[in-house]
Amino acid sequence: MRKIEFQTIVDAAKELCARSASDLPADMERALAAARAREISPAGAEILDALLENARVARDEKRPICQDTGVAVFFIEKGAEAVVAGGTLTDAVNEGVRRGYEEAFLRKSIVRGPLDRVNTKDNTPAVIHLEEVPGDRISIRFMAKGGGCENMSRLAMLTPADGREGVIRFVVGAVDAAGANPCPPIVVGVGMGGTFEVAALLAKKSLFREIGSPNPDSALDSLEREILERINDLGIGPQGMGGAATALAVHVLSHPCHIASLPVAVNIECHAHRSAEVVL
Amino acid sequence: MSGTIIRVESPLAEEAVESLRAGDVVRISGVIYTARDAAHKRIVEALDAGQAPPFELAGQIVYYVGPTPARPGEVIGSAGPTTSYRMDSYTPRLLEAGLKGMIGKGNRSPAAVEAMKRFRAVYFAAVGGAGALISKRIKSSEIIAYEDLGAEAVRRLVVEDFPAIVANDILGGDIFEAGRKKYQRL
């Protein structure tokens, strides 16, 4: 077994929160620049210019890209041969979030209950998805998920008869209904198959894929392209004020499912994509 | 959209509210107040109980924002707009009490748009996700109410050339509807 100290996890989680808040990933910045070059709406082009300038200012001055520094979401792959010494992985990640959000001056956006709405004042608890994999490493992928785009998520339990066209209609319909609200241009995460909760989890997980990279499955790749084209025909455009750039990419993850079911989940990510990864 | 930029003073004069049209590019200067979900709930509760709201609403602009904490020596942290529709259910009540302008992002409900026509008020859209850039136009910030709400407290801001676009005007003009119609391919 390989031992990884509790404090090593705390420091890693803290660093991921702090760094990603002000450093827009290169794939998103490239996608925004490409969208700017293609944008046909003058207002849309000005908005995309402002977003690119905002990314530069945020990085240079270490200011948060967006004031909604999100709910801290972690996808962790823990090697079967790795063991955390001195505490649980969950406690370590939450401690890292607590410190990262405080020390980097990030907004604390978590309330302890959906109805009593009392702020926990340290942005915990984090949302942690843990998977066991072969090996002795721990890989931690982090995303600060904003409330505006998360609120536009949708899930449907379609029937097998709905098929490919049913999936396309549901995803395009979700983006259509979201309109200006999720801060377009967006990345559309789609989870297809599994059960109710697996579809939702896959939709979120798909948002970690590099923007602009092809889906390794050719059938899913063609599905993504068709959905993307139909979304961008909607004309919603940057910030919903009209234009070509509504979505920058569609990412689909699929999973085996029951003979009666075709679950589809849509999880939208805004252009202020705050995400980073570390392998310990 | 490039071209004419209209300078708007806040609090808003009646004539300014009447002359603004959806699609106008504006720069707002003066005093504005922040309020989002939790503060709206409390303001409406105060109005319903016959108590004074935390600031005189007549002529004012409310900015839907929950900024990040200011670093030492800075006025405010990142401070871009939050999604406006969540405030829609409170909006008619605030407009009735004299509020004249709102800054946020995203489209409004038909009831909120109707209330803007009825009570003569405008809705400005700022660029969502440009919080670092927008914070530079905020010259002072002071919490004036509901400090316990943290990021959701009501702040009095002094802004200079705050960039926005008129999204809804007093005639029912709507930039989201118009923009989309122009660029959709069916």
In a domain, B106, yes or no: yes
Cβ within 8 Å of B, A 186-225: none
- Domain boundaries along the sequence of chain A: 2-20+65-145, 148-273
Angle, CA of B110, B115 and B120, to the nearest 5°: 130
- Does A53 lie at the interface with B, CB-CB under 8 angstroms? yes
SS3 content of chain A, % helix, strand, coil (to 5): 40, 25, 30
Average pLDDT over residues B56-76: 97
Q: Is residue B1 part of a domain?
A: no
The structure tokens listed for A224 are 């993504």
A235 contact B CB<8A: yes
Q: Whole-angstrom Cα distance, residue B78 to residue A189?
A: 27
Supply the CATH classification number for the domain A2-20+65-145: 3.30.360
Report the gap between the CA of A1 and the closest CA in chain B (Å). 42
CA-angle at B112, arms to B55 and B7, nearest 5°: 60
Q: Give the mean pLDDT of B6-21.
A: 97
**Quick one: CA dihedral A99, A101, A105, A107, positive or negative?**
negative
Using CB atoms and an 8 Å cut-off, which of residues 134-173 of chain B contact chain A? 135-136, 149-152, 163, 165
**Are B69 and A42 in contact (CB < 8 Å)?**
no
CA distance B81 to B133: 12
DSSP secondary-structure letter at B36?
A: -
At which residue do the structure tokens 């925004």 appear?
Answer: A32
SS3 content of chain B, % helix, strand, coil (to 5): 30, 30, 40
Which B residues in the span 102-141 are in contact with A, Cβ-Cβ below 8 Å?
105-107, 125, 127-133, 135-136
**Average pLDDT, whole number, for chain A?**
97
Residue span of the structural domain in which B106 resides: 6-183
Band (pLDDT 50/70/90 cuts) for residue B3 is low
Q: CA separation (Å) from A91 to A86, A95, A103, A126, A140? A: 10, 6, 18, 10, 14
Confidence of residue B1 (pLDDT cuts 50, 70, 90): very low
Contact B176/A240, CB-based, under 8 Å?
A: yes
Helices (H), ranges, B49-134: 91-96, 110-119, 131-134
* Residue linked to tokens 């009501």: B154
SS3 for A8? Answer: helix
User: In angstroms, rounded to a whole number, what is the distance separating the alpha carbons of residues B151 and B36?
Assistant: 9
The answer to whether residues A266 and A171 touch, using CB atoms and an 8 Å cutoff, is yes
Inform me whether the pLDDT recorded for B159 exceeds 50.
yes
A224-256 pLDDT, tens digit each:
999 999 999 999 999 999 999 999 999 999 999
> Mutation test of the interface with chain B: which of A40, A65, A120, A239, choosing the one with the most B Cβ atoms within 10 A?
A239
Is there a contact between B107 and A180 (Cβ–Cβ < 8 Å)?
yes
How far is B151 from chain A, CA to nearest CA, in Å? 7
Chains A and B: how many Cβ contacts under 8 Å? 162
3-class state of residue A191 by DSSP: strand
| Number of structural domains in chain B | 1
Residue B134 belongs to some domain of the structure: yes
Contacts of A241 in chain B (CB under 8 A): 125, 165, 175-176, 179
Beta bridge partners of A250: A188
| CB contacts, 8 Å: B150 with chain A | 108, 119, 121
Residue B186: pLDDT band (50, 70, 90) is confident
List alpha helices for chain A, DSSP H.
6-22, 26-38, 42-61, 89-103, 147-150, 163-178, 196-205, 218-232
When pLDDT is averaged across residues A114-137 and rounded to a whole number, the result is: 96
| Residue B13: active-site member | no
How confident is the model over B82-92, as pLDDT tens digits? 999 999 999 99
pLDDT digits (tens, 9 = 90+) for A36-83: 999 999 999 999 999 999 999 999 999 999 999 999 999 999 999 999
Residue B98 lies in a domain: yes
Could you tell me the CA-to-CA distances from A93 to A77, A147, A174, A250 in Å, in that order?
A: 13, 21, 33, 29
Q: What is the CATH number of the domain that holds B108?
A: 3.20.130.10
Partner B, chain A 252-271, Cβ-Cβ below 8 Å: 270-271
CA distance B26 to B8: 7
Give pairs for B85-88: CB < 8 Å, separation 24+: B85/A181, B85/B109, B85/B112, B86/B36, B86/B37, B87/B35, B87/B36, B87/B37, B87/B40, B88/B112
B29 within domain boundaries: yes
> With contact defined as beta carbons under 8 Å apart, do A253 and A202 qualify?
yes
Q: Is A41 on the interface with B (CB under 8 A)?
A: yes
Contacts of B178 in chain A (CB under 8 A): 242
| Catalytic residue (one of B16, B20, B40, B149) | B40
How far apart CA B75 and CA B141 sit, in angstroms, is 6
Q: Does A246 touch chain B (CB under 8 A)?
A: no
- For chain B, give the mean pLDDT: 96
Q: Across the interface, which of B77, B85, B135 has its CB nearest the CB of A181? A: B85
Mutation site, A67, A71, A233, interface B, largest B CB count within 10 A: A67
Q: Are B101 and B62 in contact (CB under 8 A)?
A: yes
